[in-house]
Every structure is written in C-alpha cells, then in structure tokens.
Amino acid sequence: MSEWKKELIETNRGRFEVFVKGEGEPVCITHHYSEFNESGDYFAETFIENNKVFLVNLKDAGNSDKAGNAHELSMVDAVLDLEEIRKVYGYLSWTFAGHSTGGMIGVLYGIHFSSSLKSLIIVGSSAREYSSTSSRCIYNEGHPKFKRMQELMELLKPQSLTGDERNRLSKERTQLSLFEPENFEQYFSKNISKKLSANRLNFFSREQLIFDVTRQLSAVRAKTIILCGRHDVQCPVDFSIEMSELIPNASLHIFEQSNHYPFLEEEFEFKEVLKSVI
C-alpha cells in the first residue's frame, strides 16, 4: 500500500498538514481530534479508488499550527479552516466526507457553506449531543461498557505511550464499536496508524455537551448522503435517521450488519453506495 503524500499548506488562517492520495474528483476528509500521518486512514482509503482525497490535520494535530486561542479548536473554526484550505488548492467546490466527529464538522460545513460542496457524506454521526440522550450510546452512563470506554480514552491520551501499548489499547477501544469484534484483524489489516490530539479531544468533550444544530439543518442545500451502521454504539442510528428527516432531500442508507465502521464491516456495499454519489 502506497503512502499518502504530505503537504504543508499556508492559508490566511494558518498552516495545515494535509495528506493527499488518489486521482479524480476532490474529496476532503478530517476528524475532530485524530492526528493523521503518511500511513493514511481507513475511512479515507475508502475513497481513493476514484477520487483525489485530502486528509486534513486540524489545528493542534500533527504538524498543523497550534491553536492560539481556545475557540480555534472548535468545530466552527474547523469548517472555516477547511474553507481556506479549499481555496488554496483552487477548487470552486469539493465533496466533504466525515465519519463520527468528522461528520459533525460536516454538518456544520453543510449549514454554512453548502455552495462550496458538490456533495456531503456523513457517516455514523449526529447533529446534536448524543451521549446523554441515548442509553444505546457507549458514552452514556447507562451503557454497560461506558466505564471501560472512558478508561481507554484516558489511557490513549499520553504521547509517551509505546507503539505496542497504543496498539493494544486502540484495538480494545475499536472492538467495542464493531458488530463482530472477533473480525478486528480482518478489518484492520493495513499498516495504518494514527494518534489522538489530547487538546482537541478535551475541547470536544466540552463542546459536544452544548452541540445541537438540528434547527439549522434545513439550511443544508448540498446533496447529502447519510450512512450508518444499524448497531452503532457511538452515534446510534436514531441520530442519522433524525438528520435524514431534517436535511432537505437527504438520502439515508443503513448497514444492517455494522456498528460504527460500516466502511469496513460491509465494505463492498459501502463502496457501492459511494459509486452512486461521487
């Protein structure tokens, strides 16, 4: 598997580390608190067969600029940063695809800059705070695996972790969000690795408590495709259904044998859906 090409992009809002791979129509991908590198990302790899993918490290992630103010770690600022990156690359519009917290950023992108989007792809995500309102969410205290997930999130924050320690903890954390956890090795067989930005994760933990843009979803005018696993424990499927009902002309596809990673758990079907979109 070839590595992603690293680029450092200077914009009016700072310098950003971007990894590029593939040819074709442009697709932008990011995540709220992931730190990407040349090995890429499993979600992003789904798009490279037919698209040129731009995988963005937001501020305080990887070699992108550090945030000078706390608000620069917000999802709104992330959207503003992505817009500046799009302009530097010279695209009048592109597709944005976001998984999980990346999808939450995507929702805001669609609300405020639909004219910059050829299409909007939201996977396993939500337009509002999800943990306190659904006991089906693993971040809800009522979920039987809530405590262990919290422990793992904290254990993964230190930058001093050895590679083996990080891999072991990451594997256990990911298995909590698979419909068939015994298939972990099959799904995650590529040489892809990434870290978490502790500063961004800590900010998100507070920001998500007041996050709710459901009343603004009618402002999304971009072609929107919402995808979710039926058994998603991170952003339960009800939140995807809600978005599909509130975003004008949005389409919804639910993967019946998937949890939080339908692009791996039902890879063939997921890619077939994408072919009809971009």
CA torsion, points 276, 75, 38, 120, in degrees to nearest 10? 10
Model-wide pTM > 0.85: yes
| Average pLDDT along the chain | 96
CA atoms within 13 A on the CB side of 239: 33
Q: What is the average pLDDT across 59-78?
A: 98
Does residue 136 carry a pLDDT above 90? yes
Q: Are strands 94-99 and 25-29 parallel, antiparallel or unpaired?
A: parallel
The full 3-state SS of 244-270, as one line of letters, equals: HHHCCCCEEEEECCCCCCHHHHCHHHH
Spatial CA neighbour of 166 closest among 145, 196, 188? 196
How far from chain centre, in Å, is Cα 193?
A: 15
pLDDT grade, residue 1 (50/70/90)?
low
Does residue 61 carry a pLDDT above 70? yes
- Give the pLDDT confidence of 159-178 residue by residue, as tens digits: 898 989 988 999 999 999 99
Spatial CA neighbour of 98 closest among 48, 140, 150, 56? 56
How many CB atoms lie under 10 A from the CB of residue 233? Answer: 22
* Residue % of the chain over a pLDDT of 90: 90
What pLDDT, on a 0 to 100 scale, did the predictor assign at position 163?
85
Does residue 252 carry a pLDDT above 80? yes
Domain ranges of the chain: 5-132+192-275
Task: Enter the tokens of residue 206.
Answer: 């507070």
Does residue 46 carry a pLDDT above 90? yes
pLDDT grade, residue 48 (50/70/90)?
very high
Q: What is the average pLDDT across 14-28?
A: 98
How many CB atoms lie under 10 A from the CB of residue 272? Answer: 11
Does residue 125 carry a pLDDT above 80? yes
Does residue 62 carry a pLDDT above 70? yes
What pLDDT, on a 0 to 100 scale, did the predictor assign at position 133?
87
Q: What is the average pLDDT across 123-152?
A: 95
DSSP notation for the chain = -PPPEEEEEEETTEEEEEEEE--SEEEEE--SSEE--TT--HHHHTTTTTEEEEEEE-TTSTTSPPPSSGGGGSHHHHHHHHHHHHHHHT-S-EEEEEETHHHHHHHHHHHHHGGGEEEEEEES--SB--TTT-TTSTTSTTSTTHHHHHHHHHHT--TT--HHHHHHHHHHHHHTT-SSGGGHHHHT-SS---EE-HHHHHHHHHHGGG-B-GGGGGG--SEEEEEEETT-SSS-HHHHHHHHHHSTT-EEEEETT-SS-HHHHTHHHHHHHHHTT-
Fold of 5-132+192-275: Rossmann fold (3.40.50)
What pLDDT, on a 0 to 100 scale, did the predictor assign at position 234?
95
What pLDDT, on a 0 to 100 scale, did the predictor assign at position 191?
93
d(CA 6, CA 182): 34
What pLDDT, on a 0 to 100 scale, did the predictor assign at position 2?
80
Q: What is the average pLDDT across 222-241?
A: 98
Task: Enter the tokens of residue 91.
Answer: 């695209």
